[in-house]
Amino acid sequence: MEPHEVGAPTRRDFLLIATGAFAAVGAAAAVWPFIDQMNPDAASLALASVEVDISSIQPGQSITVMWRGKPVFIRNRTEAEMEEARSVPLGDLKDPLARNENVDASAPATDENRAPAGYEQWLVMVGICTHLGCVPLGQQGDYGGWFCPCHGSHYDTAGRIRRGPAPENLLVPTLSFVDDTTIRIG
């Protein structure tokens, strides 16, 4: 018996494998520009996070900033607003989850889980009603928080849904404090 009859690789086998590998590398090199062009451009990546100076916001005041094309409410809550939010029994809440990207997904919707640790007076939320995507009005409604006039959703001073058709609390985005007067969202 000759060596090539026993199943030993032949020169033809080597050439077929080498040609196939070369073709695969060539195809990947040809397809890569099409795949790479689907990545977000630099302008989109620049919107991935935003830093906001909060030094001029007095207790009881709010501002709205844009982040990723969405309004974000930043409120410097008064002591009375924080006490009111803390006094609400969890059983009275329509949505029992905090909806805060900075804490565990299963965290309860206590006021402490809605505000950043160490900066409890600051409430930062995506300002889009969880019912149909409207933008609620601040310091209005039955609970002194936010009110969506389109369909009647009422949020309290911690941004938790209390009454109306909205199914979830307002979302708290990923955020961090750069220093005592600057918040980074995203």
Q: Quick check: is 161 in a domain?
A: yes
pLDDT in tens, 32-41: 888 888 887 7
pLDDT of residue 5: 62
69 pLDDT higher than 60: yes
Q: Answer yes or no: are the C-beta atoms of 58 and 45 closer than 8 Å.
A: no
104/61 same-domain check: yes
- Read out DSSP for 94-161? S--B--BTTS-TT-B--HHHHS-TT-TTEEEEE---TTTS--PEET-STTSSEEETTTTEEE-TTS-E
32/50 same-domain check: no
18/90 same-domain check: no
DSSP class of 66: E
Q: Catalytic: 4?
A: no
pLDDT of residue 1: 47
Q: Answer yes or no: are the C-beta atoms of 172 and 102 closer than 8 Å.
A: yes
67/128 same-domain check: yes
Q: How many domains does the chain have?
A: 2
- What integer best gives the mean pLDDT of the chain? 89
The pTM is what?
Answer: 0.72
Q: What is the mean pLDDT of residues 14-35?
A: 91
Q: Quick check: is 89 in a domain?
A: yes
Which residues span the domain enclosing 27?
3-36
pLDDT in tens, 94-121: 999 999 999 999 999 999 999 998 899 9
- Give the three-state DSSP class for 30: helix
Question: Cα–Cα distance between 54 and 141 in angstroms, integer?
Answer: 25
82/26 same-domain check: no
Q: Which of 4, 131, 151, 154 is catalytic?
A: 151
